[in-house]
Amino acid sequence: MNQLRHFLEDCYRNNSAGIAIQSGTENLSYLELNQRRQALEGLIGAVALEARSPIGLLLPKSPNAIAAILACLKLDLPYVPIDFDAPFSRSKYIFEDASCNFLITTKERAAEIYQLLTINKEPLEHPDLDFAIVDLRLQSRPRAENRIGPDVCYILYTSGSTGKPKGVLITATNAICFVEWAGAHFNIDATLTLASIAPFHFDLSIFDLFVSLKAGATIALFTAKEVKNPLLLAHYLAEWKVNVIYATPSLLQLLLRYGKLDRYGFSVLRQVLFAGEVFPVSALRLLSLQWPQVSFYNLYGPTETNVVTYFSVPRPILEQRGYPYPIGQLCPYAKAQLRTGDQTYPLEVNMEGELLIAGDSVAAGYLGLPELEGKRFLQLDGAIWYATGDLVRVDKNRDIVYVGRIDRMVKRRGYRIEMAEIENCMSNYEGVTAFGAVPVEQDGQLKIIGCYESNFAIPELDLKQYFVDYLPLYMQPDRFLHLKEIPLTSSQKVDFQALKNIAIKHV
Amino acid sequence: MEPVEHFIRKNFLADPDGDLSNSTPLLSSGIIDSISALELVEFLEQNYQIEFKPHEVDRENLNTIDLIGEFIERKRTQ
């Protein structure tokens, strides 16, 4: 059986004395992690085994949350990690959409939920550990039943362009092909410490959790609060002797700008992997100067396929380089082709099109959304291809280059304009720490608003002059908007929806 | 604490002449977000010759101008 639970099982036996989790509150050996998992299994087993409905995990980022994930895997129950800090309405949308029968949460939160849902019963609590189980079947509302395939291990909710989160069904095969490749490719072994910065509802955490556990390495666990304070993050990264970091460029840039990295020693840090968005080269260059011994890797892949390409950033990074690095080569388990209109093409030098991905890492689909699933997961030549919505090009070295989102592309005066191209240009302007370009309709006309984050407002004329030197006229932003802070999503990426709403108010 | 008040007015208040007293909550009210807090820390370190330890970047030391003043006093007498 090629299941994730069997895949991870050896880790407890082989490394029982080794530290599995290091955190600000407690450290757990593999033996202790295994015991905590078993303690929770008893509690879940009492209620949940009857029906294979997904279990919602509404827990703060903590050793307990990892124990809960492992318990669900062991009991063969698909789990849904839910953002503990999100508003209750969003959590509720997710656990209802996933037809969860049970939630695992903290005792305090369980009591709150019973009150909010007006359930007149006591949640089931663990006698010692801060775990409680919310029985959602006690709700009076009628519940939809979603059918979930027997091989689904977990469901990750991502925000959709429609504004409603959608559940991506991840199977054991999906997870294992990535975890095996990443462990081998980045030489992860039991002597290493890997940072866990991303929240567990975000797919970057699959690397932090499963690659570490599989190798018997140590997970350096950062809470949401610690991640928000770059000073504290930098302090712990150094103190816990972290060897490998996997994070978004937005987060790494905050660390570079506010983390006071000079105060600490990072001599054991050896790899920094980044994914989720484009890393502006000027900031990446500064980080590479700060950490000269570190290898940097650009990884790419939406939640629906996990990582499918990788690129090792060559050193040194030249000051005059303006364009971001490629997303690189396909992972061994992934196949790709390009689509323009109804036609598909193999990847060849200089070709451009929407990236389609097939292979073992492609998710089993969306939970309860057959129509959307049919549009994004395509049946072609006897295989399932996920249409990423990302426009890519193949460069002369046969590396794949990310061009932009198809849905962030607009047409003006007959020209196709990709917002990311404007952003790449802006990211090199001195003093600008983040940037987002958004198209806004005004009196039937399309206006492009360039929103920038900086300590000071830059004279509009200076910006216009700068853009005239780098972009054709039809691509010029019409207005610039100075912001103290570019809004980020809970997964630390630029929140374009929020940015657009801010821009609309200012037009 | 006048320079601190001036810095907060200039950088974090939508209206620099708006309401702000020494006991106005800064973080819990949303006047200062997580990034602004770090900018404030940089300003305080540079202007008051103190150094924040990472865990000191916290609501209990930064939430009002009074608390900031007390924190600076404590750091200087340490």
- What pTM, to 2 d.p., does this model score? 0.85
**Chain A contact for B13 (CB, 8 A cutoff):** no
| CA dihedral sign of residues A323, A324, A325, A326 | negative
- What are the tens digits of pLDDT across the range A411-452? 777 777 888 888 888 877 888 888 899 999 887 778 899 999
**Which residues in A have their CB inside 8 Å of a CB on B?**
228-232, 234-236, 254, 258, 455, 484-485
CB contact under 8 A, B36 and A234: no
What pLDDT score does A49 carry?
64
Q: Share the mean pLDDT of chain A.
A: 90
Measured between beta carbons, the chain B residues lying within 8 angstroms of A228 are: 34
**pLDDT at position B33:** 80
**A126 closest CA partner among A3, A192, A17, A35:** A35
Q: Which CATH class is domain B2-10+23-77?
A: mainly alpha
Q: Is A4 helix (H, G, I), strand (E, B) or coil?
A: helix
pLDDT value at residue A393: 95
User: What is the distance in angstroms between the Cα of B78 and the nearest Cα belonging to chain A?
Assistant: 20
Distance of residue B38 Cα from the nearest chain A Cα, in angstroms: 7
Q: Which of A229, A264, A483 to mutate to test the interface with B (most CBs of B within 10 A)?
A: A229
Instruction: Pick the closest to residue A163 from A234, A253, A100, A89 (CA basis).
Output: A89
Residues β-bridged to residue A330: A309
Domain boundaries, chain B: 2-10+23-77
Interface membership of B1 toward A (CB under 8 Å): no
Chain B closest-CA separation from residue A449 CA (Å): 21
Predicted confidence at residue A199, as pLDDT, reads: 94
Q: Which of residues 18-77 of B touch A (CB under 8 A)?
A: 33-36, 38-39, 41-42, 52, 54-55, 57
Interface contact flag, B33 A485, Cβ < 8 Å: yes
Interface probe for A, chosen from B35, B52, B53 (most Cβ of A below 10 Å), is B35
CB-nearest to A228 from B34, B39, B42 is B34
- A-to-B residue pairs, Cβ atoms closer than 8 angstroms: 29
pLDDT the model gives residue A162? 57
- Tell me, rounded to whole angstroms, the distance of Cα A261 from its chain centroid: 24
User: Per residue of chain A (507 residues), what is the pLDDT tens digit?
Assistant: 347 888 888 788 778 889 999 999 999 999 999 999 999 998 888 786 666 678 999 999 999 999 999 999 998 899 999 999 888 988 999 999 998 989 999 999 999 999 999 888 889 999 999 999 999 888 766 566 667 888 899 999 987 655 678 999 999 999 999 999 999 999 999 999 999 999 999 999 999 999 999 999 999 999 998 998 999 999 999 999 999 999 999 899 999 999 999 999 999 999 999 998 889 898 999 999 999 999 999 999 999 999 999 999 999 999 888 788 999 999 999 999 999 988 999 999 999 999 999 999 999 999 989 999 999 999 998 999 999 999 999 999 999 999 888 878 787 777 778 888 888 888 778 888 888 999 998 877 788 999 999 888 899 888 888 888 888 888 889 899 999 888 888 777 888 888 998 998 887
- Which residue stretches of A118-228 are H helix? 172-185, 204-206, 212-215, 224-228
ipTM, two decimals, is 0.81
Tell if the CB–CB gap between B11 and A230 is shorter than 8 Å. Answer: no
Coil, strand, or helix at residue A31? helix
pLDDT for B45-54, tens place per residue? 999 999 999 8
Average pLDDT for consecutive 10-residue bins of chain B (78 residues)? Answer: 90 82 87 85 92 90 94 90
Q: Which of B10, B38, B50 should be substituted to probe chain A, the one whose Cβ sees the most A Cβ atoms within 10 Å?
A: B38
Separation CA A416–CA A297 (nearest Å): 30
Contacts of A484 in chain B (CB under 8 A): 11-12, 35-36
CA distance A437 to A230: 26
Question: According to the model, what pLDDT value does residue A161 have?
Answer: 55
Closest CA to A280 of A320, A322, A309, A314: A322
- For every residue of B5-72, DSSP letters joined together read HHHHHHHH-SSTTS---TT--STTTTSS-HHHHHHHHHHHHHHHT----GGGSSHHHHSSHHHHHHHH
> Edge-to-edge strands of the sheet including A271-274?
A27-29, A19-22, A218-221, A193-196, A244-247, A271-274, A295-300, A309-312, A329-330
Q: Within chain B, what is the greatest distance between any pair of CA atoms?
A: 36
Q: Do the Cβ atoms of B54 and A234 come within 8 Å?
A: yes
Q: Which of A234, A235, A484 has its CB closest to that of B36?
A: A484
Q: Strands A79-81 and A102-105, how do they pair?
A: unpaired
Among residues A151, A202, A203, A201, the alpha carbon closest in space to that of A182 is found at: A203
Chain centroid, CA A209 distance in Å: 13
Distance from B42 to chain A by nearest Cα, in Å?
Answer: 9
What is the number of residues in chain B? 78
Task: Give the gap in angstroms from C-alpha B26 to the nearest C-alpha of chain A.
Answer: 16
| Inter-chain CB proximity B41 and A231 less than 8 Å | yes
